[in-house]
Structure 1
Amino acid sequence: MTTVEPETPAPPAPPPQAGRRRTGADPVKALLHRHRELCERAVDPLEIAAGLEAHGITDRTATRFRHRDVFSLAEELYARTPHGEAPATALAPLPAGPSALRGLGCALLPGALAFGAAAAAPAWAGPAAVTATAAALVWPGRAAGGRFPYAAHLLAAAVAGWAAHRHGTALALGLALAVAPGHLVAAAFAARARVRVAGSRALEEFADRVRPLLLAAVAVFAGAAAGAAAVAGAPLAAALPLALLLFLTRLLLRHGAHRGPVAAALALALVPVPAAASAAAAGLLVHAVLALSRASAHARPHPPTRKEKQKMTGQPTNQGATR
C-alpha cells in the first residue's frame, strides 16, 4: 500500500511593489508629459482643468487617471509641475486697471461718434454708427485667427448696415448706444464665470452654474438695448433682435468659440424676412449656452508657444531633434 504525501502549498506571490508600479505605469506622469506646456504656463489649476477639457478630457476620462473629476486631476498636474514665483491672481468680480478703462473708453466711442456725426452731418450718421458698432461690439478676441479671421466682423458690419438701410438711421444709433452696456455686461459675465470655475469641482457642476449666469447677462443686456433703442427712437421689434445677435457674437468671439455657427447666424440675419434676425439671435443663443458652459471657454488667453507659431507659419517643428 502506497502512501500519498500531502501537497505542500505553493509559496505566496510577493506583493506588488508600489514604487515600481508607480514609476513604470504612471498615467498622470504620461499626461503631464503630453501637456507639459499647458501645465508650465498655467497660473493655477483652473487653467489646467480648462485646457484639459479643451483637449477632450472629461470627468469620466479622469477616472482612468485615478481621479474623480478633471479639477482633481488638474490639481495634481499643477502640484507636480515646477513653477517659479508667480504673483497670485485674484478673481475679482469685475476687471479693473488701465486696460479695463481703455476698453470702457472704446465702448463709449461708438455712441459718441454716431451722435456727433448726426449733429454735424446727418447724412453720415448711419454709416458712422454702423462702422463703430461693428468694430467695437464684435472686435476680435481670442477667436482671432484662422483662414478668414475677420469674416464674422465683415458679416456683422453687413448685418448692421442692411438693418440701417431697411429701418433708418435711428436703428443704427440705437445699436451704437448699446455697445457700452454690452461691453460692461460681457466683462461682468467673464469675471463672474471665472469665479464659478473656482467654486466648481466638476465640469457638469460648472456648466450648471454658468448657464443661469449667461441667461441673466443676456436679459440684462436686452433691457439695456431696449433702453438704447428708445433713446434713439428706433423700432424695438427690429433693434432688439439685432442688438442681441451682435452681443452674442461678441461673447462667442471673445471666448474663443468657433466662427462657423456665428457666421451662419449672421448670414441668416441678412435674409430679407422680418423674422430672420429673431431666428438668428435665438439660434445663436442656443449655441452660446452650449459653448460658454464649457470651462475651457473661460481660460485666460496665452501668447502662442514656439510650436504653435511654427504650426501657424507652416514651418517644421523639428520634433525629432529634441527629446
Structure 2
Amino acid sequence: MTTIDPEITAPPNSAPPALPPAPPAFEARGSGGSAPGNAGEAERVGGTAARPVRRRAGGDPVKALLHRHRELCERAVDPLEIAAGLEAHGITDRTAARFRHRDVFSLAEELYARSPHEEVAAAAPALVPAGPDAFRAVGYALLPAALACAAAAAGQAWAGAAAVTAVAAALVWPGRAAGGRFPYAAHVLAAAVAGWAVYRHGTALAVGLALAVVPGHLAAVAFAAGARARLDGSRALEDFADRARPLLLAAVALFTGAAAAAAALAGTPLPVAVPLALLLFLTRLLLRHGAHRAPVGAALALALVPVPAAALAAVAGLLVHAVLALARASAHARP
C-alpha cells in the first residue's frame, strides 16, 4: 500500500495555498515615464513626455539698447537722427548685426518705431535754408568785406585789426564743437592766426580774407544741405561716407577758387592768402558740424609758426581730419 505525503498532495476539498503578495507597480523614474505630478504636463503635449523649454539666452537686446539710449530715441524727429546718434556712440553696421539687423539704419528704424514720440504738427525743415534767418546770415557774411574795404579805402590804421576780427567771427562763428571746457578757444586761435598773418603781410591780406567770407558761407551751406540730402537717401554708414567725401572735396575746391579770386582782387599774394583762407574755412566746417577741437587747435597752432610751409602743412592735416570727421552721419544730425 502506497503512502502519500500530506505535505505534497493537498486534500481535494482544501483551498489552494495563498500566493505571495504581488510586487509593487513599476514607478517611472527619470525621463522614461510619467510621474503622477507630471500627468497634466503629459496630457498637455498629447500624452507624451514634454521636453523642457529652452529660454533665449539673449532675451531682447534691442530693448536693452532702447533703454540705454532712451533720451536719444524719444527726442529724435526721424530714424536718421537715431542712426547718427548711435554712430556717435560707436555703434557701426558690424555692431548692428549683433542686434539682428543688417545695418545701423535698420536698427534705428526699429528703435524709432518702439519709442514714444510727441505729435509734431510742423512740417519738416527744408534742406536748403530759406526765410529771414538765411538772408540775415548772408548779410552777416557781407559785413566783413564791407568793413575791410571801407577801412582800407579810407586809409585807416585800424583797418587790418577790424578786418581780422570780422573775418574770424564770420568764418568760424557759430560753432558747436564737442567736448572741452573752453568753447571759444578755437575762435581765439583762429583770430590769432589771421591777425599774425595780416601783421606780417599787410592789410591787403585782411581785405582778401574778408572778400572770401561770402563764398565760404555759401559753400558751407551748400555742403550741409547736400550732406543732409545724402543722409536721407543712404541705407548704410559706408554708403553715406562714400557719398559725403566727394561732396566735401567739391566744396573745398569751390572755395579754393573763390579765395584765389578774392586774393587777386585784393592784390595779396595767392600762396599766402589761399592756404590761410582754406584753414579758416575748414575750421568753420569742423566746428559747425560738432567736431572735436583738438585737431583744429593743433592745426591753428601750427599755422602760427612763422614758416611759409606751416600754413600748407596745417591745411593738409586739417583736410585729412575733415574728410574723416565730416563723412560720419553723426556730423550732420539736426542740432
State TM-score, norm by structure 1. Answer: 0.85
Name the counterpart of 1:186.
220
Letter in 1 for 2:154: A
**Gap regions ≥5 residues in structure 1:** 1-6, 302-323
Question: Per-residue deviation at 1:88?
Answer: 3.7
Distance (whole Å) between structure 2 residues aligned to residue 217 and residue 46 of structure 1: 23
Match of 2:25 in 1: none
> Among 305, 311, 322, which residue is 1:288 paired with?
322
Aligned to 1:210: 244
Q: 1: CA distance between counterparts of 2:174 and 2:180?
A: 12
1:126 maps onto 2:175 in alignment: no
1:120 Cα offset (Å): 3.0
Letter in 1 for 2:150: G
- Is the 8 Å Cα contact of residues 179 and 292 (structure 2) preserved in structure 1? no
Q: For residue 62 of structure 2, what is the amino acid of its counterpart?
A: V
Asked if residue 164 in structure 1 is aligned to residue 198 in structure 2, the reply is yes
Q: Deviations over 1:187-225 (max 9, x none)?
A: 110111011111111111111110000000000000111
- CA gap of 1:15–1:90, structure 2 versus 1, over 3 A, is farther
Q: 2:174 aligns with which of 140, 146, 155?
A: 140
2:72 aligned partner: 38
CA distance in 1, matches of 2:126, 2:324: 24
CA displacement at 1:21 relative to structure 2 = 5.0
| Contact kept in structure 2, 1:133 and 1:179, CA below 8 Å | yes
Q: Is the deviation greater in 81-90 or in 199-208?
A: 81-90
Q: Whose helix fraction is larger, Structure 1's or Structure 2's?
A: 1
Query: In the alignment, what sits opposite 2:19?
Result: none
Evaluate the alpha carbon distance shift between residue 61 and residue 144 of structure 1 in structure 2; reply closer, same or farther with a 3 A threshold: closer
Q: 1:252, 1:292 within 8 Å by CA — same for their partners in 2? A: yes
| Equivalent residue for 2:235, pick from 179, 201, 210 | 201
The one-letter code matched in structure 2 to 1:43 is V
Q: How does 1:77-156 map to 2 (within 5 A)?
A: 77-86=111-120, 87-92=122-127, 94-143=128-177, 146-156=180-190
Shift of 1:91: 4.7
Question: Quick one: distance in 2 between partners of 1:201 and 1:12?
Answer: 45
User: Separation in 1 of the partners of 2:196 and 2:59?
Assistant: 61
| Aligned mates of 1:179, 1:43 — CA distance in 2 | 32
Aligned AA for 1:171?
Answer: L
Q: In structure 1, how many angstroms separate the alpha carbons of the residues matched to 2:111 and 2:134?
A: 32
* Moved >4 Å (runs of 4+): 7-12
Larger radius of gyration: 2
Q: Do residues 60 (structure 1) and 98 (structure 2) align?
A: no
- State the Cα distance separating 1:27 from its structure 2 match: 0.8
Offset, 1:123: 1.4
Match of 1:70 among 104, 121, 130: 104
Name the CA distance, whole Å, in 1 between partners of 2:126 and 2:86.
Answer: 21
For 2:261, the aligned partner's letter is: G
Write the distance in 2 (CA, Å) between the matches of 1:258 and 1:214.
18
Residue 51 of structure 2: aligned partner: 13
